[in-house]
Amino acid sequence: MFTGIIQSIGIIQNIIFKNNLYFLYIKTNKNFIKNLKIGESISNNGCCLTIIKLYNNIMIFNIIKQTFNNTTFKKVKIGDHVNLEKPIKINNFIGGHIVSGHITSIAIITNIKNYTSFKILWIKLKNSLHMKYILKKGSVCIDGVSLTIDKKLKNKFSVNIIPKTLSKTTLSTKNIYNYVNIETDIHTRIIMKTVERLFNNIKYLKKNNKRNMNVKKK
């Protein structure tokens, strides 16, 4: 589990496809990689990946085809930057919100408004069905960054990026039509899916009761 508070920015050194697996090489700084071990999980642009090898300041991860095709990794190239975060410890403060590292959708940036001290990004989800999990003033994770949803329209939403976030993440370099990884808030998803199941069960029971009553009348 993560919090969406970025700790470092890495650089993609290499991407190799071998034996039906992608090998992702990411270079980071000494402070971030210090004390990391093979087998640990790291959030890479919001996607939870497992370290399979470490050497110098480079972490190597495997990415299966499914993950590759359902995230922005299929669009990245050598030299691109990625947001990095280590898993949260039980005794850590949660500065953002609970993030699982499981990407729920990718999205495209449709508009960027630049102001003196901040930016506004307008985001459109590739899977529009997930817009029901986007709630005004709720949380969303964009490329691993925990953000608060500012405005919501029918098929897109906006987030405000403050100077600190711009200086510490890759969101400062994003352009219109760039793609980003999205993880909708896990608590919102659980609550809404539970309510939907209850609602469907009630509808089913009412329908069955009505049918039984009609049978008795006959």
Q: Find out whether 118 and 163 touch, Cβ atoms under 8 Å.
A: yes
Q: Is the dihedral of CA 37, 63, 148, 10 positive or negative?
A: positive
What confidence tier does 125 reach under pLDDT thresholds 50, 70, 90? Answer: very high
Level-2 CATH architecture, domain 8-85: Beta Barrel (2.40)
Which 8-state DSSP code applies to residue 2?
Answer: B
CATH class label, 105-191: mainly beta
Least confident of 42-51, 109-118, 196-205: 196-205
What confidence tier does 177 reach under pLDDT thresholds 50, 70, 90? Answer: very high
Mean pLDDT of the chain: 92
Token pair listed for 68: 């590759």
Q: What pTM, to 2 d.p., does this model score? A: 0.89
Q: How many Cβ atoms from other residues are within 10 Å of residue 40's Cβ?
A: 13
Where exactly does CATH 2.40.30.20 map onto the chain? 8-85, 105-191
Q: Find out whether 4 and 144 touch, Cβ atoms under 8 Å.
A: yes
Q: Find out whether 81 and 87 touch, Cβ atoms under 8 Å.
A: no
